[in-house]
Structure 1
Amino acid sequence: MASSDQNGNKPLCLITGASAGIGAAIAKEYALRGWDLALCARREAPMVALATELKQEYGTTSHIFEIDLFDPNATDNLISRMSAKGLHIDGLVNNAGYGHPGVYLESEWDDHAKFIQLMMTAPCELARKLAPAMVENGFGRIINVASLAGHMPGSKGHTLYAAVKSFLIKFSQSLNMELDGSGVHVSALCPGFTYTEFHDVNGTREAMNKLPAYMMMEADECAEMGVEACERNRAVFVPGGVNKTIATLGKVLPNSIAQSLMAKNSEKFRKID
């Protein structure tokens, strides 16, 4: 459980993409552990419902910020709004994300630029702007929600997804080492297939429903393990035995074999058309 400061204030965790899925599950996990929350997403209504639930269940205070991280100015806007409310961030969960369907040349550059802004630039920018105060205070937690895909060869379709997730893994490893001994923990959480609305949004729900149950994980289970891994300062954490096995195979198989397997199976898990 988290401890309050000398003024009785609970630690505060900012979670992006907090309206549903793994983001909402991580919010519940931090509430259970005694944190207050700053919830950030494009949809306000689900965050209000989540905040009400967590207030009733755990006495959690949640600050809600409706914001679109596709906007290059969004992080500065968000930080300004938090500062105006006198909020001091002790934890950051970079969770906002989606899968852009189709193959690379079938989307305009603006679509890819928005993807990179949300999935890569915004997490790095938030970490850079919020981590110094954590270091100064001698305490902080940063979770970058990456993916099992970041441990695997790139696939046909959703072309930038694995690339961005691989970047977040390497970024988390480096930042973890750089902040060693500061009291700030940095962790890349790398879920595999998880029961969330993510697959409804990117058009892969039908394919996911065909997967065996042992390959799917509940969001709450993923969140609990991921938050605990950050507490233990695990730079990279893959939740679940099946996912760990897949990640290991992605490392030990020769690149030619791994890439061939991915090429043959991409259309089972990615929306190409």
Structure 2
Amino acid sequence: MSVAASPRPLALITGASAGIGAAFARAYAARGHDLALVARRADRLEALAAELAAAHGIEAFAVPADLAEFEAHAAVLAAVAARGRTVDVLVNNAGFSIAQSFTGVPWERQRAFLMTLVVNACGLAYGVIPGMVAQGRGAIVNVGSLAAFAPGVAGHSLYPGAKSLTVKWSQALAAELKGTGVRVTVTCPGFTLTEFAEANGTKAVMDEAPRRFFQTAEQVVAETLAASDRGQVVIVPGLHNKMAATLLRYLPEQLVIAILTRASAKYHLED
């Protein structure tokens, strides 16, 4: 059933039930945006939607969806359209990682990874861009990773490649949409204090890492939105992460591979 359109812009945020996605939801609600919150955990989405609607006087609604499913983006966009709304801001944040080797888990798990981080993220952007261009404004924020600048090593087999694609795709979209009023930004955070490591089974190892190398989700989002506002396409939040990205880009690749192979071995779980 459709409802009357709100005069407020709508931000559609995937992976909104926790971590960086929830931080984006809080930030956009504080800016006066209505929210379409997408994730699998409906209870968390409903609770966050109710909290932010009450705190900021905006409309917030849950769109429970599993973005690992084929064409899941279409159902998400249909749910938004059914409420008489169009998307003004898209935040492609949903994702996870697989700490085992490529064939150490069933293919269905690797396929779910690609559907979530690549296929349905692209599908959502494909669906909302025409409307943004037609109204002459809009923003797409894609969540990449510092790993986008790194070569692949054992474990997390698809992760660097998927995040590298996110960066290159975002740059291409920004070039294609130049002059339309639609901004595209990809953010590439490093270690962030979220539930990400708990989900992939590396929390115990991550907890041993020095806290000075971690950012909060709120810090990542604040830097990302500031970059989006000024039209910056690629942002690496945090000075230490910026330094790491520079080293990853300019050190000889064989040296980087040797360093990462040694450093990442503890994050590669047994198959």
Question: Structure 1-normalised TM-score?
Answer: 0.95
1:74-223 to 2 correspondences below 5 Å: 74-223=72-221
Asked whether the 8 Å contact 1:186–1:230 carries over to 2, the reply is yes
SS in 2 for 1:111: helix
Distance (Å, rounded) in 1 between the aligned partners of 2:269 and 2:216: 22
Distance (Å, rounded) in 1 between the aligned partners of 2:119 and 2:129: 15
SS in 2 for 1:14: strand
Unaligned stretches of 5+ residues in structure 1 = 1-6
SS in 2 for 1:88: coil
Distance (Å, rounded) in 2 between the aligned partners of 1:108 and 1:144: 27
Asked whether the 8 Å contact 1:202–1:271 carries over to 2, the reply is no
Question: Structure 2-normalised TM-score?
Answer: 0.95
**CA-CA distance at 1:109 after TM superposition:** 2.1
Distance (Å, rounded) in 1 between the aligned partners of 2:162 and 2:77: 24
Runs of 4+ in 1 over 6 A off after TM superposition: none
Distance (Å, rounded) in 1 between the aligned partners of 2:89 and 2:36: 10
Shifted more, 243-252 versus 208-217: the winner is: 208-217
Distance (Å, rounded) in 2 between the aligned partners of 1:231 and 1:240: 17
| Percent of aligned pairs sharing the same letter | 40
Shifted more, 183-192 versus 80-89: the winner is: 80-89
Aligned partner of 2:52 in structure 1 is 54
Deviations 1:187-235 (A, max 9, x none): 1111100000111010111111111121000111111111121111111
Unaligned stretches of 5+ residues in structure 2 = none
SS in 2 for 1:210: coil
Deviations 1:146-166 (A, max 9, x none): 101111121211110111001
SS in 2 for 1:9: coil
CA RMSD of aligned residues (A): 1.3
SS in 2 for 1:77: helix
Distance (Å, rounded) in 2 between the aligned partners of 1:83 and 1:210: 45
